[in-house]
Structure 1
Amino acid sequence: MGIRFSVLSSGSTGNATLVANGEVTLMIDAGFSAKRVDELMMERGVTGQELSGILVTHEHSDHIKGLGAVARKYNLPVYANEKTWAAMDKAIGAIPDEQRCVLGTGETRDFGSLRVESFAISHDAAEPVGYSFYDGKEKLSVCTDLGYASDKVKEAICDADVLVLEANHDIEMLRMGRYPWNIKRRILGDLGHLSNDATGELMSEILNGRLKRVYLAHLSREHNMLDLAKMSVRGAMEDRGCFYKDSEFKLCDTYYDRPTPWDVLKER
């Protein structure tokens, strides 16, 4: 069947993504109540009993709010690196030892025919990661919550067929917004979040004939808009001489309140 995925919801109010290949179904993060996670999965025709496990990117509440409850409810293994386990331990409640699985940063693990590889990113968390998924020649990379894209991040995602990538804020909207300056400085820093312009710059460096779609994720409801994000990312790419046809490459939306349609990599 190959890889298919749906970003169940993405933003500062919560994050969760499903990745499946017909043999296994994995969830990345569970940043909502268990009830809301169930509702979002139901919209994509998936139940908790079908999940093979949960992968954790980092310990911030918008990524782990319902993690413990979902893992206990469906008796699911949870995968995170050791520093993330230590940082989120008290927040998620008791998890049986047999469900606590360590997936080290940079480690690769096979879940049936679906291979998962974690890679380090830059964010103000204990040891945040992104994930790449492989099935045969197909590759999906998911990379949000990063202040900047290091060379190692670029290397990790440059050969993906489809990419879920942060485009958190418009810099001027953030600067003019109501947040205190210390929070603005955090968001704008190397341990914060990618701006639209930074995402466009990154795309201009890694866009190749293989990458077909980029889902712009983790948009700020205060300091960004769907159309603005796509326009700004595309503008930043063109400013750096990176032009493309919509028939060859697309920028796609994610939403804070509903899932994206299933995207099947090999069928598009």
Structure 2
Amino acid sequence: MVEDFGMRVSVLASSSSGNATYIETPKHKVLVDAGFSGKKLESLLASIDRKMSDVDSLFLTHEHTDHIKGVGVLARRYPKLNIYANAPTFAALPSSVGNLPADQLKIFEMGTTLSLDDLDIESFGVSHDAAAPQFYQFHHDDKAFAVLTDTGYVSDAIAGTIRDADAYLMECNHDLEMLRMGPYPWPLKQRILGDTGHLSNEDGANAIMDMIGLRTKRIYLGHLSPHNNMKPLAHMTVASMLQQQGLAVGHDFDVYDTDPAIADPLFVV
């Protein structure tokens, strides 16, 4: 009999330069995205005492490089790895990924739920400038962990789908003033600020306020831009906005930072 230690999660690294999150249950070890080289992903997993060879499934959110950089290497190095995405995302993968073994590719349609033994994975669409971007909520027993980055806004449908999760990885891509005053060309700034771009710190805080519930204990702030944001600024903005609405940050739940290159410790959802 397998001991049920619950669902454990580590945000291996998160920024607009690369993203990967590790989730495990007694029967499965999975990744969300692989936005780093194979060597870096192996190193990040080793830092939390885990091995890539034990990962059985990889869930892709969309085809942008900061989410799929290592997919090709991992697929060819680990032939037992199942790779899940919707059909438009697979079709949009860049040539840099190389040839992926067909038997490892598994279609996961948007808006459906996949059951893998003791892990249920719920997919939902977001508003981002990719072929068919979708993110995921992971369920084990009565616990839920939701991943939501790379969206220009959070619709009522998205908020309803992942409301009252036990833990969240939430996008806080940019500080509005830093983005407006920063070095990016105006068309790129417009893209980031648009409805198919990215959430600002304020957008992330407002989304959290729409979704947080009595079960929620952990909120991880992710996908920060190295050019248009800073961890202390994102943390301060989100925490202060939540506190202004009477939410007990540090008492009922905690807000955590993520790092672009260092894994967060494993936690039990």
* TM-score for both structures, normalised by structure 2: 0.95
CA RMSD of aligned residues (A): 1.2
Deviation string 1:182-238 (CA, Å, 9 cap, x unpaired) is: 001101111111000111111222222111111000011111111111111123334
Determine whether 1:259 maps to 2:263.
Answer: yes
Give the deviation of 1:156 after TM superposition.
1.6
Fraction of identical pairs, as percent: 41
- Matches of 1:205 and 1:163 in 2, distance apart? 13
Q: What is the match of residue 104 of structure 1?
A: 109
Question: Residue type matched to 2:77 in 1?
Answer: K
Aligned equivalent of 1:173, options 175, 178, 184: 178
* Aligned partners of 1:204 and 1:242 also within 8 Å: no
Give the deviation of 1:35 after TM superposition.
0.9
Aligned equivalent of 1:231, options 224, 236, 241: 236
Aligned equivalent of 1:222, options 218, 227, 230: 227
Deviation string 1:146-181 (CA, Å, 9 cap, x unpaired) is: 110011110121121001110111000100000001
Q: How does 1:1-268 map to 2 (within 5 A)?
A: 1-75=5-79, 76-88=81-93, 90-239=95-244, 241-265=245-269
- Matches of 1:245 and 1:153 in 2, distance apart? 23
Alignment gaps of 5+ in structure 2? none
- Matches of 2:7 and 2:125 in 1, distance apart? 23
- Matches of 1:243 and 1:78 in 2, distance apart? 38
- Matches of 2:228 and 2:96 in 1, distance apart? 28
Give the deviation of 1:95 after TM superposition.
1.4
SS at match of 1:15: strand
- Matches of 1:216 and 1:68 in 2, distance apart? 28
Runs of 4+ in 1 over 4 A off after TM superposition: none
Deviation string 1:119-157 (CA, Å, 9 cap, x unpaired) is: 101111001111001111010001111110011110121
* TM-score for both structures, normalised by structure 1: 0.95
- Matches of 2:187 and 2:68 in 1, distance apart? 24
Question: Residue type matched to 2:211 in 1?
Answer: I
Give the deviation of 1:245 after TM superposition.
4.1
- Matches of 1:245 and 1:6 in 2, distance apart? 21
Alignment gaps of 5+ in structure 1? none
Aligned residues: 264
* Aligned partners of 2:165 and 2:212 also within 8 Å: no
Give the deviation of 1:91 after TM superposition.
3.4
- Matches of 2:151 and 2:30 in 1, distance apart? 22
Question: Residue type matched to 1:117 in 2?
Answer: E
